[in-house]
A = this chain, B = another copy of it.
Amino acid sequence: MSALPLSTAEVPRRAAAALERLRAGRPRVHAVMNTVAQKLVADGLSALGAIPSMTVSQDEIAGFVARADALAVNLGTLDAARRAAVSLALDAAAARGLPWALDPAHCDYSPPRAAFARELLARRPAVLRANAAEHDLLAVPDGVVSVRTGEIDRIALAGAALIVENGHPWTAAVTGTGCLSGAAVAAFLAVEPEPFAAAASAMLAIGVAAGLAAPHARGPGSFEPALLDALAGLRPDDLLRHARVRHEQS
């Protein structure tokens, strides 16, 4: 059993401190985001304290990334223009040493998208966020933190993994919450230089918010606004009190 980059006891404390910096610093996050989830992701980033932008215009994206503090690349509704925009965004991010997170949404449905995801992994995102089916298709390079979301969330690096057991089943029923996870990782990367801690903080923030939101909802429809309310109202202290994290026993 490999050692985690930070102990399970440290995770909530790091997450709470990062959330505090996020609220105070209001980092800009540029998200190349599929058209389905754009609104939810923008609202979710705003609720966390970040300032989202989402253009994929090839004339403009380098300028937006140059003004951003982190980049999220989501491959949903990928087309030729969006693919070109991703490359331009990554060049602009690399030029400034900007951290970025990759979300290869639905790459299990589409061999060309999976191939593109592999190319992008070779450009070394700080964090990969994917579901189990997407993960199974991709080989995560050494040193890239991998987040596998699902009933429980698993944040892994170099053979060690942290499990976050917060969250709520309704989350999976709302389109775009996975995409929001990926973008939230980018928001935390803007305020937490250590990618494993940033990824764990993002998953904990969304998971705890989901748990706090559920009692205010009647189903997945009302869960979505309740989740945004909970993200906006989330206090660092909530992370300390409600975190359910453990070291994966392998």
- CB contacts under 8 Å to B, within A150-178, are 173-176
* Assembly CA distance A52 to B36 (angstroms): 11
Query: Quick one: which of B112, B219, B233 contacts A228, CB cutoff 8 A?
Result: B219
Interface residues on A, range: 35 or more
**Chain B residues with CB under 8 A of A79:** 55-59, 81
**Contact across chains for A63 and B110 when beta carbons are under 8 A apart:** yes
> Told that A173-B232, A219-B229, A221-B230 touch, could you supply 7 new A-B pairs with CB distance under 8 A?
A39-B39, A47-B221, A60-B78, A60-B109, A60-B113, A216-B218, A218-B226
Give the contacts of A103-140 with B (CB-CB under 8 A). Answer: 106, 109-113
Q: Does A43 lie at the interface of the complex (its beta carbon under 8 Å from any beta carbon of B)?
A: yes
A110-B65 Cα distance, complex, nearest whole Å: 10
Q: How many Å lie between the Cα of A217 and that of B60 in the bound state? A: 36
Report yes or no: B42 in contact with A54, Cβ–Cβ below 8 A: no
Is B54 a contact partner of A36 (Cβ separation < 8 A)? Answer: yes
Q: Is B222 touching A225 in the complex (CB atoms < 8 A)?
A: yes
A46 proximity list for chain B (CB < 8 A)? 173-175, 220
